Structure 1
Amino acid sequence: PYVGAVDVTLMYAVVDVAGINSLSAQVFGNATAAVAAMAREYAARRAEPAAEGHRPLVGLSMFGLTTPAVDEARAELDRLGYEALVFHATGAGGRTLEKLAADGRLVGVLDLTTTELADDLVGGVLSAGPHRLEAAGAAGIPQVVSLGALDMVNFGPRASVPAAFDGRTFVVHNPTVTLMRTTPAENAELGRRIGAKLAAARGPVTVFVPLRGVSGIDREGGPFRDEEADAALFAALREAVAGTSVELVEADAHLNDPGFARRAALRLHELVTAAR
């Protein structure tokens, strides 16, 4: 919460900062030494000649339940000559991805895991804010987007889930993470929001829709398999991008099925190449 999406470093003071004492002098001395060392390193890097053959940067979004897809996409992008930066979609990761896109550091975005939008809509703990999925479009950066983990909203320990959600479907991922299944109505709103954001993009956009499930637990036999909810998401997205420049690719596959993410990576490569 204090550092946002930048590389601020914090050092705990240990004691109160009301005056200098033998302990705080050591802590402040360490902080001073760290600042000086970082400044020297920064100056040394700036003095070096620019590295040749730097690979173009692509941002990817990942969650534990979309890891197989992102791993496949990352391997394909590496083969194609990109450096893939993977961001864990826990709020801070999404905000950092947006910041790098806004700063022009990325040549493309492969946003396979847009789950943070569900937390923003429903009130989960991993929201990246209301402007998630907007920076790349505003900057005109080519992007390929999918619907990874939009079947879930994230909370802390099960006892911390608000009573308003009693009766919903939950999966206790671990003692500190509880997942709640999104409803058809919530998924329909997510489809509308995603479609509107992508339709407003200034650069090329392709959306890959995995018709057989959007996360590791939203598949046949999985605890979050809900065809009605997924269908509501897909239908709202189709309607939102109809008649726009957004390309919609529907695949009779699960998000984590071999080949799905590779196709998405190849499509991003085509968009990036065409934009050069």
Structure 2
Amino acid sequence: MSVIIIGTLDTKGAEIGFARDVLTAQGLDVHVVDTGVMGDPAFDPDTAASAVAEAGGSTLSELRERGDRGHAMEVMGDGAAAVVSRLYEDGNLDGVLGLGGSGNTSVATAAMRALPYGVPKVMVSTMASGDTRPYVESRDIMMLYSVADIEGLNQLSRRVISNAALAVVGMVANDPDVEVEDRPTIGITMFGVTTPCVKTARAYLEDRGYETIVFHATGTGGQAMENLVEQGVIDGVLDVTTTEWADELVGGVLSAGPDRLDAAGATGTPQVVSVGALDMVNFGAKADVPAEFHDRNLHVHNPQVTLMRTTEDECAELGRIIGEKLNAATGPTALALPLDGVSMLDVEGEDFHDPFADAALFDALRATIDDHVELIELDTDINDEAFAETMAQQLHEYMQAAELAPTLGED
């Protein structure tokens, strides 16, 4: 078993050497990738910093002469990603350990994000107690806070680094015996306010032999599903909850970025898409809602989450954006509209019930989608069992037509 350590040997040589010794004492092979730019390495690495820089499209001398730390970190991140990808493809990588401050955290996690899901990835970082999303994004990266700066070995740093190294040992040296069934896999998006819909649809699909993976539509959830579609892990998409686009458009905290809704269309993956939770934009605590939105319809979901109702104009723009995304699809695609409410909060009597905003959303979608996008409309809210089963049945029919359905899934 081989573990890759990514670190800057010009500044963190003692710490990286200590981590290497912990791993080798456990019987693992260790390959050290040096990402240091400015100084000489404390010991000879297995992959030199010069090789990492070249893999990133530059040279070590150019990076030193330029003296631009941000540019150097970007180059070394690209290079480290290329190096570890090659090691993985050659069968020489079973896990990755990174150590560092903000600079090498950026570099090492860029390399980790280039690896498939399931490959053990542990990052010891001074940045791990803050906002880790820029480093983790939608990947399965474990981040361990270093507590003290990674600057010298002492009773604290030795214990933290040892814990991280032994965590990697546990992951790579023990077969978790995770059952992997060769069944078509459906990706489903969910929010708390669309949970009943997803539960019903999921039961329908699993009864017909599919495996389902549910993604919480919190930005990284949508990104993770898009990544897995691109990798071919997901065979069909039931995109119940497209709420991340509301955050992307309006400026909420749970955006999945402008590429959300691209992967299934680009790969020809069968998809049925709805408008779940497009009635809301997400912010943190109520006190953290930007001042420009203080006069809007706000709903305190919990002390850490405040929701804001989308307006007619915002809903119309969301309809146009999503319609254009679906028009670009190369595979079978349906759009399902629940005319009586797009979330639990959007039904009659609830805080976000707004038939005019919903109509703006629906009208924009109808006006935008091309003929090859199948339109399904039901006079129910999104969490009605009939709506959920209609979506699931439509996706099942697409999967059957594409010969992707389970053999037991014949109705």
Q: What corresponds to 1:168 in structure 2?
A: 296
Q: What corresponds to 2:234 in structure 1?
A: 106
Q: What corresponds to 2:225 in structure 1?
A: 97
Secondary structure at the counterpart of residue 335 of structure 2: strand
Task: Tell me whether 131-140 or 160-169 shows the greater mean CA deviation.
Answer: 160-169
Q: What corresponds to 1:15 in structure 2?
A: 148
Q: What corresponds to 2:138 in structure 1?
A: 5
Instruction: Kindly provide the amino acid, as one letter, of the partner of residue 235 in structure 1.
Output: D
Cα distance in 2, alignment partners of residues 112 and 65 from structure 1: 11
Q: What corresponds to 1:257 in structure 2?
A: 384
Spell out the pairing of 1:1-276 with structure 2 (5 A cutoff).
1=133, 2-41=135-174, 53-241=181-369, 243-276=370-403
Shift of residue 53, structure 1, vs aligned partner: 4.7
Instruction: Kindly provide the amino acid, as one letter, of the partner of residue 204 in structure 1.
Output: P
Cα distance in 2, alignment partners of residues 217 and 273 from structure 1: 35
Instruction: Kindly provide the amino acid, as one letter, of the partner of residue 395 in structure 2.
Output: L
Mind listing any 5+ residue stretches in structure 1 that lack a counterpart? none
Secondary structure at the counterpart of residue 376 of structure 2: strand
Report the RMSD for the aligned CA atoms in angstroms: 1.6
Report the TM-score, using the length of structure 1 for normalisation. 0.94
Paired positions, count: 270
Cα distance in 1, alignment partners of residues 170 and 180 from structure 2: 26
Cα distance in 2, alignment partners of residues 37 and 172 from structure 1: 41
Instruction: Kindly provide the amino acid, as one letter, of the partner of residue 263 in structure 1.
Output: T
Cα distance in 1, alignment partners of residues 319 and 386 from structure 2: 24
Instruction: Point out which structure has higher relative CO (alpha carbons under 8 A, 6+ apart).
Output: 1
Shift of residue 26, structure 1, vs aligned partner: 1.6
Report the CA distance shift for 1:51/1:169 in structure 2 as closer, same or farther (over 3 A): closer
Cα distance in 2, alignment partners of residues 115 and 159 from structure 1: 22
Shift of residue 55, structure 1, vs aligned partner: 2.1
Cα distance in 2, alignment partners of residues 86 and 233 from structure 1: 25
Task: Tell me whether 126-135 or 8-17 shows the greater mean CA deviation.
Answer: 8-17
Secondary structure at the counterpart of residue 28 of structure 1: helix
Secondary structure at the counterpart of residue 132 of structure 1: coil
Cα distance in 1, alignment partners of residues 171 and 291 from structure 2: 48
Secondary structure at the counterpart of residue 20 of structure 1: coil
User: After superposition, what is the alpha-carbon deviation per residue over 1:157-206, rounded to whole angstroms, capped at 9, x for unaligned?
Assistant: 11111111132111111111111110111000000000000010111101
Instruction: Kindly provide the amino acid, as one letter, of the partner of residue 30 in structure 1.
Output: N
